[in-house]
Amino acid sequence: TINREISCLRHLFKYAVSRKAINTSPFTDEESLHYRENNQKDHFLSQEEIDRLLATTMPEWCRNVIIGILHTGMRRQEALGLQWHNVRDGFIFLHYTKNGKKRQVPIDRDLAGFLKGLKMKYGLWSKYVFCDPNGNKIKGDSCSKAVKSALKRANMHVSQPVHILRHTFASHFVMREGDLPSLQKILGHEKIEMTMRYAHLAPDYLKKSIEAMNGLTSTVDTQKSDEKVTSREEIASIGSIQSKSQDVVNG
């Protein structure tokens, strides 16, 4: 909260300088007044919680949105603004994103079947993939309230009801052996550091990555294998000679 207020004040003073209301801003780029934040996100919905949530009574459009985000990791506005012409060739093409950069999200087999059913039901009279019963675009606030109510009925209380669906997608993607660079592209993170918050869910990630180095010196190792055997034989003989020499000394 403090960081948000400091950012607001910094912006206001910067704006005041640009409007020539004041000469300089008390904030400087060299010194930061922000507290360090922990962006690590540990909580996400387990498989049991996902099943419980989807079994909860809720509007059909709300369940559709939940399923869509759980399979793609889209942000709320990306999902609600998705139109049918952006779904093709096994991908979802997102043109209006948070950072303004277009990206493609692959469609898995389960989602493909789900979207096919939605298109047969709504596609002929609504341009939106996720729409209300009248085919209209769903409002962001309405979506958040509906998802929050569904989570509450499923006995789950979270501060960011829709965003946790995106976080759940990312968490399960990594736990199911999805790689972090691919997750970065799917989620649309500008920096890999944002995606690395999920690395702790894949303890074998670095181990699998290092396996790519196998074979780098295999030729050399093969050539030296005989030498290693010979070396062991020599060591054994040296040990024998040393033992005999010691006996002579002791005698």
Show which residues are catalytic.
75, 98, 163, 166, 189, 198
SS3 137: strand
Sequence-distant (6+) residues with CB within 8 A of 186 are 72, 73, 103, 105, 106, 173
The answer to whether residues 61 and 131 touch, using CB atoms and an 8 Å cutoff, is yes
E strand or H helix at 60, and its extent?
helix 60-72
- Interatomic CA distance for residues 220 and 46, integer angstroms: 47
- Interatomic CA distance for residues 150 and 131, integer angstroms: 18
The answer to whether residues 127 and 84 touch, using CB atoms and an 8 Å cutoff, is yes
> Using CA of residue 186, residue 192, residue 196, residue 199, what is the dihedral sign?
positive
The one-character DSSP state at 209 is H
Nearest to 181 by CA among 208, 213, 162, 215: 208
- Residue 133 has phi, psi (to 5 degrees) of -55, -20
- Interatomic CA distance for residues 11 and 185, integer angstroms: 30
- Interatomic CA distance for residues 67 and 64, integer angstroms: 5
